[in-house]
Amino acid sequence: MAKKVAAKPAPKAVKAAKPAPKAAKPAPKAPAKAPAKAAAKVDITTKAGLIATIAEQAKISKAQAADAFAAVLAVAYKAAKAKEGYTLPGLVKLQIAERKARTGRNPITHAAIKIPKTKIVKVKVLKAAKDAILGKK
């Protein structure tokens, strides 16, 4: 009888070497605590900063402050179109004025040019605002 030769099992695939463990990330540093006043400082020269300040001082949400600010602007813009203008109490007076037509000079050629009449918006700072900013005399 013929001897049966046992079939050799297929060689196992060589496992890829495990990648080296990544170096542990250093623990994030705790943020330094800033003084309370510095954290609350907001840039009020921007609309968002102004709205944030209004919300904080009036103890309302920023959305409510934004709505109130938008309403004040809408009223001021609409009312300023009237002949008598609009006074934002304690701050400014907005008024439409008309500049007369005049003759000007082209600064490069020095030629005379006609400048047509135009409408402009005049902004007058009220006495209450001047006194609050500059101090009473």
Q: Which residue segments constitute the domains of the chain, with CATH numbers given? A: 41-80 (no CATH), 83-137 (4.10.520.10)
Tell how far CA 77 is from the center of its chain. Answer: 21
Whether 86 and 121 have beta carbons less than 8 Å apart is answered as no
Burial 34-72 (b: 16+ CB within 10 A, else e): eeeeeeeeeeeeeeeebbbbbbeeeeeeeeebbeeeeee
Q: Residues 14-54: pLDDT tens digits? A: 555 566 666 666 666 656 554 444 445 778 889 999 999 99
**Which of 54, 75, 56 minimizes the C-alpha distance to 66?**
54
pLDDT band at 83 (very low <50, low <70, confident <90, very high): confident
Per-residue pLDDT, averaged over 75-90, amounts to 92
Amino acid, res. 7: A
**Which of 102, 108, 82, 106 minimizes the C-alpha distance to 93?**
82
pTM: 0.58
- HSE-up of residue 7 (Cα within 13 Å, Cβ side): 3
**pLDDT at position 88 over 80:** yes
- Average pLDDT score, the chain: 83
Whether 124 and 95 have beta carbons less than 8 Å apart is answered as yes
